[in-house]
Amino acid sequence: MKYYSLNHNALKVSFKEAVIQGLASDKGLYFPENITALDASFFDKIESLSNEEIAYVAIKQFVGDEIPADKLKEIIAETLCFDFPVVKVENGIYSLELFHGPTMAFKDVGAR
């Protein structure tokens, strides 16, 4: 998978280069060349999957073979090592609690 700058004035880079550089040389954000929709079967069984399994399926197309599958699963397990439950607020309304991580802030999910 190659990543391009949203400013369109920098060379395309690999996943590894995009992660290490953070921003493209033209100060643009890196974006994947392709995003493939997840299969309907994934969503049909999503409630039976663990958070780690969901994360692996969601991210593997962006990482490609740059991180071996077993190592990627290990990274995901270390990253998602705390609960972030979906809590019922009232009938038909649910909230994803993102404050159960090490710093008790939403960034524990997004920044990991």
24-47 residue pLDDT tens? 999 999 999 999 999 999 999 999
Tell me the whole-structure pTM to 2 decimals.
Answer: 0.77
The Cα–Cα gap between 90 and 92 comes to 6
Q: Do 54 and 74 belong together in one domain?
A: yes
pLDDT value for 38: 97
Q: Do 52 and 65 belong together in one domain?
A: yes
The Cα–Cα gap between 27 and 45 comes to 39
Residue 65 has pLDDT above 80, yes or no: yes
Q: Do 54 and 27 belong together in one domain?
A: no
pLDDT value for 105: 78
Q: Do 74 and 96 belong together in one domain?
A: no
Q: Do 103 and 73 belong together in one domain?
A: no
Give residue 21's domain range. Answer: 1-34
Strand, coil or helix: 32: strand
Which residues, in sequence order, are CB contacts of 109 under 8 Å at separation 6+?
A: 84, 98, 101
Domain harbouring 19, CATH code = 3.90.1380.10
Q: Do 76 and 49 belong together in one domain?
A: yes
Which residues, in sequence order, are CB contacts of 60 under 8 Å at separation 6+?
A: 69, 72
Q: Do 13 and 27 belong together in one domain?
A: yes
Quote the number of domains for the chain.
3
- What would the pLDDT profile of 81-91 be if each residue is shown by its tens digit? 878 788 999 99
Q: Do 29 and 48 belong together in one domain?
A: no
pLDDT value for 112: 60
pLDDT classification of 94: cutoffs 50, 70, 90 = very high
Residue 107 has pLDDT above 80, yes or no: no
- The residues annotated as belonging to the active site are 107
Q: Are 76 and 55 in contact (CB under 8 A)?
A: yes
